[in-house]
Structure 1
C-alpha cells in the first residue's frame, strides 16, 4: 500500500467509510483498491493509538463490516420499525 497515491480527501473518505457501521471493507476495496489489511494499516498510521484501539475493538468480528457475515446480499438495510413512505407523502403519526 502506498498512501502517497491517495489525496488527503481520499484518505479522509477511507477513514470515514471504515468508521461507518454499515460500510463493509469490501466496499472500500472496490472504491479504493485497498485490502482489509491495508485499511487497518492506514487507520493505525492516521489515527491516535487510543482511537485506533477503539476502532479495532468496534469493528473486529462485526457482521456489518464483512460482507460474508452479513445476512443480506443486495439492496439497502431497512429496519423493521421504519415506516413505509409512499408517493412521496409523509405518514401521519
Structure 2
C-alpha cells in the first residue's frame, strides 16, 4: 500500500491518534489524508508485531473509531496537536 510522505513527527501523531479510543479514522483522514487502510498499514510498519496485533484487536469493530457508527456527540477537550 502506498503511503504519503510524512515527517516522523506526523507519523508519531498518527500512531498516537490511532491508539486513542475516541479519535476516529475520519479525523485522522481529515488531518493527515490517510484512509483507514493506510492507517492500518502505517501502524503495521511502525509498531512491533505484537503491539500491532494488540491494537488491531482493540480497534476491530469498535464503534468509537468510526464516526458514522457513533451514537454520541463528542464534546470534550481538543488537543493542541489537533489541526481541526
The whole-number CA distance in structure 2 between the counterparts of 1:66 and 1:76 is 16
TM-score (norm 2): 0.83
Q: Note the C-alpha offset of 1:2.
A: 2.9
Aligned to 1:20: 20
**Unpaired runs of at least 5, structure 2:** 77-84
Runs of 4+ in 1 over 3 A off after TM superposition: none
The whole-number CA distance in structure 1 between the counterparts of 2:34 and 2:48 is 21
Aligned to 1:76: 75
Aligned to 1:67: 67
TM-score (norm 1): 0.76
1:51-62 correspondence runs (5 A): 51-62=51-62
**Unpaired runs of at least 5, structure 1:** 78-93
- Asked if 1 retains the 8 angstrom alpha-carbon contact of 2:3 and 2:38, the reply is no
The whole-number CA distance in structure 2 between the counterparts of 1:25 and 1:46 is 17
Q: Note the C-alpha offset of 1:56.
A: 0.1
The answer to whether residue 3 in structure 2 is matched with residue 6 in structure 1 is: no
Question: Which has more radius of gyration?
Answer: 1
Q: Which has the higher contact order (CA 8 A, sep 6+)?
A: 2
